[in-house]
Every structure is written in structure tokens, then in C-alpha cells.
Structure 1
Amino acid sequence: MTTNEMSDKKIAIIGGGIAGASIALCLSEIGLQVDLFEKGTSLVNGPPICHLHAGGNLYREIPDKQCITLLKESIEALRLYPDSVDYRPTVIAIPQQDAGQPLDLLPRLTLLQNEYQKLIEHDVNNQVLGEPGDYYRLFELEELQALALLDEKKVPETAEQWMIPFAKHVDLSLLKFPVVLVQEFGWNVFRLGATAALSLEKNELCQIHLNNKVTKIDQDKQQKWSITSEENGVTSTHEFDYLINAAGFKTGEIDDLAGFYRQRLVEFKAAYVTQWQGTEGLWPEVIFHGVRGTPEGMAQFTPYADNLVQLHGMTDEITLFENGLVANAENSSQPKLAPELLRKIDVGWLNQEITTRGQRAIAHLSRYIPAFKEATVTGKPLFGAQQIPGEDANLRAAGVSFENNNYARCEIVKASSVLTCADALMEKLFEIGFVDKSAIGARLFPITHSISDQAITERSELYTQQRGYPIALAYRNIKQS
């Protein structure tokens, strides 16, 4: 199939989050005409993304198979969006009161290390997490006590140097040993959105329709889709050969408009933006494991530029919410979030809510990092709702589902799953004669990789300001050397 033949087919994507924007990027780069409909004012403006999940080590409860999938998908996503990644490791620590044991993590870490080696042997370009032998490193109490005596480094270069601030400022008496340093990197949602938007704007085959709310969906006997959307009170209708539902937590609403049913969950979460002047060097990300939904839920410390720290506390009083996880009813594909949660999404947070939950997050982390009690809440949370297909709230690796009517749903839970979703879509589009087989699994993104780091930074700055966040969230602590 020639490029001209491919570009005769018109694809509609509803939803400009990480899934919709990335699918639009992939399909337009191989020569398909794509129209992307997004009801918001910019792309990739959804649930908080802060972590690449290169192995899923934050989640003890998920099976090894999902962890292997997340490792592979994270490497692919990093290769697609290298300028959106913060190249700093993550520390996994087990508190004394937790029932888990540090050495319980070892079989999974070893498995992931071996899988990473295999991926590099398959394609040397997959070596984006450092040397396979350095995928993880264990630190015993005695070594951390010695590191605590050293000066922190402005730009750490070794595993030991990354651990110095952890060793100096964490109350080590509260932890079990060893602790783990693993090559799970940070992921910046603002830089991610900027990269996708700049790439799509540069591609003549993609038309971006911002501020467009889809209000009606019809299909004729030839399986052509008719999509009606509204922008500033003005409606317009377009016809397409294929429809991709990538509407995030509103995926069920699009299913309802299209006449399909799908069982799913929706979960509302929030992370809190704080500022802390407490140390001299760059920190790794730090995870203190805990049981989700209890007062001892996982605590997550995610450092950004200019002393900003994003916090998760997996308790009902911080990141999780009462009635924040809901399933759909039999008469609709869309789960119904509580009105107070929808108000946060559609209108905004009350100042008191921001202060109260943000201070709880600071208190949750300062149990382990005592000096962190001096941190302050800085602006509104990073928040949103995510869909989870099916009934398993612990599902982390998910992709795409299909109907027989030239209709697909991109149902990712973690942002790194976007290329797996794209590959499955291309397989389906090949089956129905829309693309050439050579397009499946292609990892060539000449337009995307032509975008400069400076352009990404400038657009990221714009997004942080438009969305009301500190401009420092547009920057990375560490660039790839």
C-alpha cells in the first residue's frame, strides 16, 4: 500500500490525553490522516503522571507479567519521548511497621534485570536505563550510615552519590534493610504534552481540534462514522473511516454515544505540589511502601527542579478519596464519580481542600524525612481521574479493545502503555486494509525527534502557566548525558 493510499483513510481520535495524542502521533507519522478532538484547551491535561514505571516496582500487588510489560513499554515510551524524562533513579524502602520484607523484592528485580538484558540483546537502542547490571542496587544500613557523612552532590553521577541525601535526611531507624535503588525514572507530564503537541502541529496529516466537545456519533451502512462536535457554541460534523475512543476517564461517555457497552472502573486521584528548601543536592525519587487505603499507605516523594516536590500518600485522606473508585452501571459504560470530585475536575479545588490535603501529604512524608515538615504547599494539586477496563482495580498494564464496527478504545492505565496500544491498533488497521504491514511496530518518528529541547521547554512553560502550576514543573533536574 502506498502512502497516498494510506492517507486516503481518515481516522478520528476522541480525547487528547497521553493516549489520544500519542496514537495520533504514531498514525500520522506513518501517513494516515488523523483528526484529534479534545474538549480542553491543550493536549495531555489529565491525571498526574510523574513516573515512568520501568518495571512497576512501586506496585507489590501486581503480578510479574504486568511488571515485565511495564518495563518493555517504559523503554519504548522513553525512546519516543526522551526530552520528557527526568533521568534520576528511585529508592524503594520498606518501613518497620510494614509486613513486607526487603528481600521479597529481589526475585522480581532479578527477573526485570534479566528481561532488560534480553531487550538490549534484541535491540541495542533499548539500553536507555543504564547498564543492565546497574538496573538495581542494594544498600545496607552500614553503607548508608557511611554515606550520611559525605557532602551531597549538585549533580550525582553514581548510585552512591544519589543515596547521600536519602542517607543524611531519612530516619533510617524506621526502615528495614536493605533498601533498593532502581532505575525507574521520572516522567514530566508538561514536557510530555509539549512534545506531542509540537510534533502534531508540525505534521500536515494531523488536524487538532481543541475546545471541541463531541456531542453526537453516528455510523452509516458503509461503516462510515459521522462525528458532531461543538466549539464555542458552533457545531460541525465530519466523516471518518475509523473511530478511536481515547477519552480517558470519559471513555464510557463516548461508548454510550456510539452505542457500545464496556465494563470499567474510574478512579480519582491527586498528588500535591510542595516546596522544600531542605537540602543541598539532588534527590532520587523515594517510595516508602505501605498498604493502600490504610493510614500507612505508600508515601511517594518525587523531586522536581527549584526545590519542588510532588507528593503521593496512598491513603483516603491524601491521594485517594472516599467514593473515588467507582464502577459503571448496566445501563451505561460511564462510571459516575461523586459530584464533589467532578467539581474538582470541571471547576477547581477550594483553597481549604488544597491546604488540608497538601499538609496531610507533608505530614505523611515527614514521618520518614523529619526535616520535610518545613515544606509548604505550593499551588493546586496535580489531579484527575483514570479509567481501568474491567473489574480489577490493581490492573496497571492495559491496552486496546475493539468492536466490529471500525471502532477501538485505547484503555491505558499507565501512560507508558501508549505504544503497545498503537501497535495493536496498527495490527487491526492492517487487517482491514488501512495500513501496510511494515507500519506495525515501526519505531521511526522523524517529526517527533526533530523537536528541539528548547522548544519543548518553552511550550512546557506555557502549559504550566496556563494550568496554574509553578513554572519550575516545566523543567528537568537531570538531562540525559
Structure 2
Amino acid sequence: MNANFCHASAQRPLRVGILGGGIAGATVALRLADMGIETLLVEASSGLVNGPPICHLHAGGNLYRDIGDDQCLTLLRQSIASVRAYPHSINRRPTVIATPKTDPGDAEALLPRLKQVAQEYQRLVDEDPANQVLGEPEQYYRCYSREQFEALAARPIPPKAESQDDWLIPLGHHLDPESLKFPLILVQEYGWSLFRMAATATLALNAAPNCELHFHTRATRLEQQPDGWIIHASHQDGQEQPFKVDFLVNACGFRTGLVDDMAGYRRQRLVEYKAAYVARWQTEGEWPEVIFHGQRGTPNGMAQLTPYPNGVFQLHGMTDGITLFKDGLAASCEYSAQPKLPQPYVTQLNQGWQTPDIEARTREAIAHLTRLLPAFGQARVGGKPLFGAQQIPGSDPSLRAADVSFEGNHYARVEIVKASSALTAADRIVGRLADLGWLEMDEQPLSPSLALTAGQNASEVEQEAVRLARERGYPDELALNMG
């Protein structure tokens, strides 16, 4: 438990209610429970961290050419903190950034940013050696010329990647250098396992004596009090139950606007429906993640190939026929803080996907990768998509680094776009509680390491992650450790 706080009132402990058990709500609950704060979490589904298809630790934001350097540095800092909070959730393999000749962008355009990010990573490690979670700072990124890439292509594929060069060899055997601009860039942006994040939170919060979890429970009405809120909730069996809390955290993901409406608050936001696809492709060697840059929303939109053990790959394609959806970006209006997605997408979110849609869109995703990686045409559908809707506060769809906002003295809304922002949001809520006099804090910043998760065993987390993957109908490989 963190030692740098105490309750402001010993007579009546502070009680914080959290609506939503996605990565945002679960992370806030972990932080608060780790500090000994009485925490209530209400979640409509059967478990924690169900949501958009998380697969990539954005430790530098290099997937996104259209965001500013400040956002990239923020994502780096948040990602490092998140790895420390979820220590067994990372797949330790690099990402290769490739620019196809069909893309109008410059392959060297990321280099000034990469230099800044590497310098910031070195500074963070110098500040605290525990921040070295992305490998050696001087190896944060490396560029490969065409000559270097072709030399690696001449080597046999190693069964296990032991060096940065080894990660490029499988690509050298399958990518035509004539189709690419150079340099290729290898960067230490790791993979992030959605299911091991869910397992981490599930094991930790189930074991936390001061955290009360209510699944299959949905808030139906909020009643504001002078000293907090009463949450009127309905359980799956129809039973109604009120919960009294001193401070309310709205962490309902893309449904955050529904809670804002219940609380009587207006907020401008976007919601974007997205999906990623699961394929099986038997190939040699260990693969890095590969990002083929492209113009979003065009037939040549970015293609993302994310590897898992045993030939399972997760696929993104930034086109309307794959990861993006026609009219899948919706905005709030003056009458409601909740954007309205088209009904077919709402039905998929609530009821899941039908087999024809799974087959058709996964095959489109495979074809999108095959344009650039011809051998991937042998891949087959590997399971149902990972899907969800992502909220974006404000009106800028390119925003990637966001965390939390407040209303009055008793209400916070968590508005993360990337999972790595969740711990920042939690810490800002702790700071808000301290500012309001509910907590007394010393001047030391909160450590990103949590006692509730730091003591977990990697194999136990993986075992629970596999159980969750099976329960949710996904391949075991999405839960297994890699690297």
C-alpha cells in the first residue's frame, strides 16, 4: 500500500464510487484500493477490462504521424508508468515502422520525434532506474537502410530473436524492398495484452479487502447530495440497490455521456466504433509488430500486423471496410453528452458479431495486409474480432493523450483515448481528492508501482488471462506471454 497519504477523517472513511470496469475504471479502482481507500465499482458486464481492441503500448506514439510531439512524449511517460502498474501485461517485442512507396509520406519524417522520445526516455531512466521498462534507452529505436535490410534478408530466419537484427530477418524474407521507402525503423513500442491486463485487475481487486465489486449491475439513476451521490443501480436479476458515495467517478468508456446525462452535465465528445481482427498464419521465426503507414480512410490506409504466439496475428486496417466503419465516428449534441452511433453498430456492441460479418471483414483485413506482404494471403480467419467504441473528448479525432475532467467537488469523468492514460487519470483523481481535503498527501509523487499488482506471479496472471480469453470466446494465444 502507498504510504504517502492518510484519510482526512478517521471517523468516516472516504468512499469513492466508480461506474465502469473497463481499463479506465479498473485502473482507478486499483490506485484507490492500493491506497486503502474504500472503493465501489459497478460494471454492467461479467468482468473487468472488456473494451476496444488494445494490443499496442504507445510508448512514443509512432503509429500516429498526425499528432504533435507533446502528445508523443506524454504517451511515452504514461506508457512507462502503465507497465509498472501492470507488470505482467507486456509482450516484449519491437515494432517495425515501414513506409510503402504507395504512401506520400517521407520515411525519415519520424526521426526528429524519435530522437526527442529517446532523449526523454533516457531522462526518465536517469531520474528513476525502475523506469527502464522499454529496453536500453540508447536502443529505443534503430534505422535500417535498404542495403542493411537486404543483407539481413540473406540470413536464415532464427527460431528465436536474440538481437534487434533478428527481428528484421523474417520481414527480409517476405517483404519486397522495391515496395518500400527507406529507412525502416525498429522501435521499442511493445505489445500490450488486453487479457493479461484484465487478469491483473481481476486478481488484484478480488483480493483487495476495501474494494467492492458489483458485476451485471447498471446505474439507472444518479441522485446528487450535498455531500456526494446516491447511485441507484439495477442488478441482472432486476433487483434495485442504492449505493451512497462521497465522490463519483464516471469511467463508462464510450457510454460516459449517458452518465453525464444522468448527472445533469453537458460535455462535447466524439465516439468512434472500431474493430481488429484475428487471423492464423503459420510462418517461421519470431515476428515484430509491423506498421505499414498509409493515409487513414483511403484504400491504402495504415495496416497493422500484431503477432502473438503459435501463428496468431491481430490485424488493423485504417479503411472503412476494416478497422474503421462508415459513419462510425459520432459527435454529441446540445441535448445530450452521449454521441449516437448507427443502430447496427450498437447492436454489434450489445449482442456481438454474426459469422458472415466476421468472415467478410477478417478476409478484407487479410487482403489489406497481403497487398504489402504477399505470403500473408495464406492466412485464415482465426476467431471473432476484438471490437468496441472509443471516446474522444472534445471535437478533435486525432487526439490521443487525454485523461480526466471534473465537475464540482464530487464528480470526475475519465476520458482516456489510449489505455496508457488510465493511471494518469487515476492519479489526477487522487490529487483532486487531496485538494478537496479528503486526503492528506506528502510532497512525494505517487509511485506508478502498485502493491496490489507488484506482488503478482506472471504464471498466475497468464493462467487467469487464458481463462478470461476462453470465457469471452477468444484464442488462448491472445492471453499468452510473448518475449
What TM-score do the two structures reach when normalised by structure 1?
0.97
Q: Does 1:49 align with 2:54?
A: yes
Deviations 1:68-101, CA, capped at 9 Å, x for gaps = 0000000000111121100000000001011111
Structure 2: gaps of 5 or more residues = none
What code does the residue aligned with 1:44 have?
V
Q: Does 1:243 align with 2:248?
A: yes
Match of 2:207 in 1: 202
Contact 2:30 2:452 (C-alpha < 8 Å) held by counterparts:
no
For residue 314 of structure 1, what is the amino acid of its counterpart?
M
| Aligned counterpart, 1:288 | 292
- One-letter code of the match for 1:472? E
Change (3 A) 1:80 1:2: closer
Aligned-CA RMSD value: 1.2
- How far apart in 2 are the matches of 1:405 and 1:334? 22
Equivalent in 330, 334, 355 of residue 330 of structure 1 = 334
- State the partner residue of 1:345: 349
Alignment of structure 1 residues 165-244 onto 2, 5 Å: 165-220=170-225, 222-231=226-235, 232-244=237-249
Other-structure match for 1:62:
67
SS, match of residue 427 in structure 1: helix
- Residue 462 (1) aligns with residue 467 (2): yes
Q: Deviation digits for residues 254-274 of structure 1, max 9, x if unmatched?
A: 001111110000000000000
Deviation at residue 436 of structure 1 after TM alignment = 2.1
> What is the CA distance between 1:374 and its match in structure 2?
0.3
Distance 2:228 2:366 in 1: 52
Cα deviation for residue 102 of structure 1 reads: 1.2
**Gaps (5+ residues) in structure 1?**
none
Alignment partner of 1:100 is 2:105: yes
Q: Is the 8 A contact 1:171 1:370 kept in 2?
A: no
**Deviation string, structure 1 residues 326-362 (Cα, Å, up to 9, x no partner):** 0011100000011000111101112111111101100
Q: Which amino acid aligns with 2:425?
A: C
Specify the SS of the correspondent of 1:302: strand
Equivalent of residue 405 in structure 2, options 401, 405, 422: 401
Matched, 1:159 2:169: no
Q: Which residue in the other structure is 1:302 paired with?
A: 306
Amino acid at match of 1:364: H
**Alignment coverage as a number of residue pairs:** 476
**1:313, 1:361 within 8 Å by CA — same for their partners in 2?**
yes
Shift of 1:171: 2.1
Q: What letter matches 1:397 in structure 2?
A: A
Aligned to 2:150: 145
Give the percent of matched residue pairs that are identical in Structure 1 and Structure 2: 49
Q: Distance in 2 between matches of 1:181 and 1:273?
A: 24
The secondary structure found in structure 2 opposite 1:100 is coil
For 2:471 and 2:133, locate their aligned partners in 1 and report how far apart those are by CA, in whole Å. Answer: 32
Deviation at 1:444, TM superposition (A): 4.1
Q: Measure the CA separation in 2 of the matches of 1:58 and 1:443.
A: 25
What is the deviation of 1:4? 8.6
Given the alignment of the two structures, is residue 91 of structure 1 paired with residue 91 of structure 2, yes or no? no
Q: Tell me which amino acid in the other structure corresponds to 2:190.
A: F
Report what 2:15 is aligned to: 10
Q: Do 2:31 and 2:427's aligned partners in 1 also have CA atoms closer than 8 Å?
A: no
> Could you tell me which residue of structure 1 aligns to residue 440 of structure 2?
436
- Alignment partner of 2:375: what SS? helix
Check conservation: 1:274, 1:311, Cα contact below 8 A: yes
TM-score of the two chains, using structure 2 as the length reference: 0.97
Within the candidate set 18, 21, 29, 2:34 is matched to 29
Following TM superposition, the consecutive aligned residue runs of length 4 or more in structure 1 with deviations greater than 2 angstroms are: 1-7, 438-444
Structure 1 residue 228, shift from structure 2 partner: 1.1
Within 2, Cα distance between the matches of 1:281 and 1:202?
39
Match of 2:390, SS? strand
Q: How far 1:473 moved relative to its partner?
A: 1.1
Aligned runs of 1:368-407 on 2, under 5 Å? Answer: 368-407=372-411
